Chains A and B, each alone.
Chain A
């Protein structure tokens, strides 16, 4: 079984990275053209210098001797103009390319981020956060390098090669031709370098991703790391990954060094060979001495951009390896796709009873194998509170995740007021169905902002009312800055129970038609839980609720209890009936009563 996300490199269609780069640069087509023109002009201004010097000496000096300072002044003025123009255009080019590059990066970062957010939970569970982070950071960084300097380099190199080759051909077709011939081994070298370097760059990008994964895992779990004295073991492991990155890093530099040396050698040899050959032609009278002199100087310039081409290729390869991974990530389709044509949901009405949920012939298994929920049918009446109980691993959370559409069933469908979840627009579904889990993740920001995740446009009064309703107001008000207290790094200063209360308030504020509580109160103390229980009676009015809980206190407020075992619903009925029936639930209930002492 190969899971695509188990690998750092997901497979993507051929040419996907080139297409991605093209699409990033497409909106800036006009600017790219303008940059080319400016570079052309700038090159012309720079190249004019030697010509003006020649003019000043050949014409200006004799004229000045006749006390005619016109030509000298003209040459001087032109020189100054060219200098100013070159400076101005350099400024313009730097700004333009930065603009092109930054716009493309803004676009790319946005695409990665939006796509990451659109992909389903199961993808995230397999792809791991570190990899996604490294796609959006180091991989984007290497593309930034390409766009920042690479573009300029490439255009500059192309222009200078064209210009010099044309001049050489004009001076002497023989020498120009010889120079063109020297491009054959050079282009072979370039090809060889590209082939080798894509391999080493790919390896390097994979290596740095591994470093990032290890790094984030350690920093996010720093408490257990220190408590279980993992520092030394981690050091060794990190060292290993870091060494691998060092090795691949060295390999990329060496590949570049090899290219530079080989092509420099070829170029310098070509210069020597052409000079000897041309000198013989001069000796035989086939070539003018002046042409030889000029050609020799131009030949040197012809091969000057070799290093710059290498630098461009280097950043291009590094960017290509990153582009490849990003393109593959962007090619991943969410396994829980948005409907092409979303269906409307009937109006709930202000005081409606919530919405009806129907599981119709649903079967589900995780991709990693094993059937978790064999085929079943289930109807949850609108406005009812249904408790789901059972041992860990019985499939309760899977049931909840299907209802929240974190996953789609393998077979059958889940209907909300008769509309399949698959056909509901994501935004609509999330307004109607909200799930609160045990994990209670807090984002950096204030407590108020964290509650407002449920409804961004909520007023402060509404936020406080939601907190009040589930008994979170007192502890929040007691925080140093009340609702404006920053929870910092994933709620470092808020206890687990308080975090659950905040995430509960968040769900309440969202005011969904269907509320799923998956172990949402597991870390609360008894008074806290009691307050929540108490609040739930009012809070759940007008909603359909699915409550998963180990502690049966939560079950007391349910109209109906489902007992699950091994993915199947084994008991179903009002709590009082089940207690009397002497089945699984009666057992659980007894055990729970005992646990209360």
Chain B
């Protein structure tokens, strides 16, 4: 439960409101307690005395108390409504902001369903906790302590009898808390797993349909939801036990006090009036005590939810951006860079996935490569040799574990990420479009690019189809819009990479989904762009390689050869086998 304390930074801004709400709750419950007393006074006083003005006065007092009670209860709810929704929203935004900036390797490990359930279900639990248990644990706790003080003052022997169950209750509650919080955690994790299955089954619907696998997917889902049901029932069983005990134990004590009290009254040690007053006070404490079971359960759920929230927030972030070096006034930095340093240079670059087993060799071990300014370098290698991984290091989607990467002599780790990613533009192998218009999807490649740049980029990528979409380049695409074919998405992704003429361009197999004609058209248009850009192009086939001035062969985690296509074709066996045309039918 200690984890709830970590909510403080988010709760701090609304602490005043929470205080007001707690005060209102305490006052409202006080007024609520006074109303029966006022009613008793009317009955015993004015009514018994046949005193009409007194009745009116009493009625007025009761009415006023009633209005005050209702008003205060309303105040609590009204002042809390906005701010608590605000706390939930702020936590969700913070979560989202953090997730967007966590390294890609984090996202590789975490199924997005698990993240989603933390951002929704768990944060809702936290809000419920702040709205109810937080206030009422306090209010009820105070009520109970006050009540016991009154009881002890009235008759300390009987009071002690009522206090007897307190110790076992505390022990039981702490036992319960421990087990329940474990059960709550299990349950919430299972919700996350269930969310993951739902998400995958929706994203992979074509494969599932294609293989008629929905039955199996349903079974997996059924298994997972049966697990969830089981852990929810376990929670209910624990909760039922606690509620049962919390209901029964104090009642048992009251029963014992009743018998003792009767005996004492009979012995003349106690007046009947005192016993009645004592017992009615004890009965009035029943609800605050009983409610503790429910309040503790919600508190535990919220604590587990908070843990899950901070598990993600505590994940190691990408190393912070280096402090920007003061730019030399005369722009001598580029001047200082020798010809050797100019362009894109990788030196001794090594990379291993952070979660890779210790014994596994690094994916990249000592990559040395120099792409001269304005040069286009093709990157060739067998499937799965690390080409895509290598391209991810340059915009720092992954961080190289050793070695240096420099742009015009400047280490990329010394550049702020935003600046680096502005300089380096990427077209990914998997062309993901976002829920936005086709035009916006392209223009997100370059800040401040306008209609003219958009048109040029679309032309380079041969994405003229955009103009014949229902609303032209304003047509919504992506998750919430029109679904485009693989080839269409790839061309838009390509347009996004080249829009606004980036200094450095990385293309990961940019033409794989295009037909031969389109490919040829894109190639000739790309050549123009590439002429003035320093580019790294991952290529699988000769036609793509021919876009490049030189070719680098990636093999065994190293660049084993660099040269022109023809040089390598004749001088390098591995390259020749990678690039030689497919076998002909005899």
Contact = CB atoms under 8 A, between A and B. Distances in A.
B517 A510 contact: no
A516 B418 CA distance: 43
Contact of A275 (B58, B212, B222): B58
A94 B107 contact: no
A283 B50 contact: yes
B532 to A, nearest CB: 21
A260 interface: yes
Interface string A101-116: 0110110011001101
A324 interface: no
B382 A527 contact: yes
A494 interface: yes
B47 interface: yes
B582 A90 contact: no
Nearest to A125: B483
Contacts of B368: none
7 contacts: A235-B93, A268-B65, A269-B63, A273-B59, A453-B207, A519-B513, A597-B546
A57 interface: yes
A256 interface: yes
Contacts of B275: 57
Contacts of A187: none
Interface stretch (B66-74, B171-179, B327-335): B66-74
Interface stretch (A176-184, A422-430, A460-468): A422-430
B214 A489 contact: no
B247 A86 contact: yes
Contacts of A56: 258-259, 262
Interface residues of A, number: 186
Interface string B94-123: 001101110010011111110111011100
Nearest 4 pairs between A and B by C-beta? A268-B66, A430-B212, A87-B248, A98-B236
Contact of B218 (A114, A282, A283, A480): A114
A84 B252 contact: yes
A154 B422 CA distance: 59
Contacts of A212: 116, 120
Nearest to A144: B232
Interface stretch (B83-91, B141-149, B150-158, B407-415): B83-91
Interface stretch (A21-29, A166-174, A289-297): A289-297
B258 A138 contact: no
A13 interface: no
A250 B81 CA distance: 5
A238 to B, nearest CB: 5
B571 interface: no
A569 B203 CA distance: 32
Contacts of B307: none
Contact of A228 (B124, B496, B578): B496
A597 B212 contact: no
Contacts of A60: 262, 266
A213 B480 contact: yes
A444 B198 CA distance: 12
A116 B212 contact: no
A272 B265 contact: no
Nearest to B31: A268
Nearest to B491: A392
Given A87-B248, A99-B236, A393-B487, 12 more contacts: A117-B214, A217-B434, A226-B397, A230-B100, A234-B100, A264-B69, A267-B66, A268-B65, A268-B69, A271-B62, A427-B212, A534-B583
Interface string A207-236: 010011111111111111111111101110
B322 interface: no
A118 B88 contact: no
B486 A438 contact: yes
Contacts of A32: none
A510 to B, nearest CB: 6
A372 to B, nearest CB: 11
B201 A227 contact: no
A166 to B, nearest CB: 21
Given A117-B217, A404-B210, A510-B211, A257 B255 contact: no
Nearest to B392: A223
A224 B432 contact: yes
Given A94-B243, A223-B428, A228 B211 contact: no
A495 interface: yes
Interface stretch (A74-82, A347-355, A356-364, A374-382): A74-82
A583 interface: no
Interface stretch (B2-10, B34-42, B337-345): B34-42
Nearest to B103: A226
A80 B259 CA distance: 10
Contacts of B127: 249
B254 A79 contact: yes
B55 A280 contact: yes
A215 B96 CA distance: 7
Contact of A523 (B509, B518, B542): B509
B256 interface: yes
Given A246-B85, A475-B383, A527-B577, A235 B97 contact: yes
Contacts of B259: 56, 72-73, 75-76, 79
Contacts of B485: 392-393, 397
Interface string A484-519: 000011101111111001010010001000000001
A87 B244 contact: yes
Given A234-B100, A260-B73, A588-B517, A289 B47 contact: yes
B376 interface: no
A427 B215 contact: yes
Given A99-B236, A246-B86, A426-B212, A392 B258 contact: no
Contacts of A14: none
B170 to A, nearest CB: 17
B516 A53 contact: no
Contact of A261 (B70, B194, B209, B425): B70
Contacts of B336: none
A238 B96 contact: yes
B514 interface: yes
Contacts of B96: 215, 218, 234-235, 238, 242
Interface string B496-540: 100000000000010011111111100000000000000000001
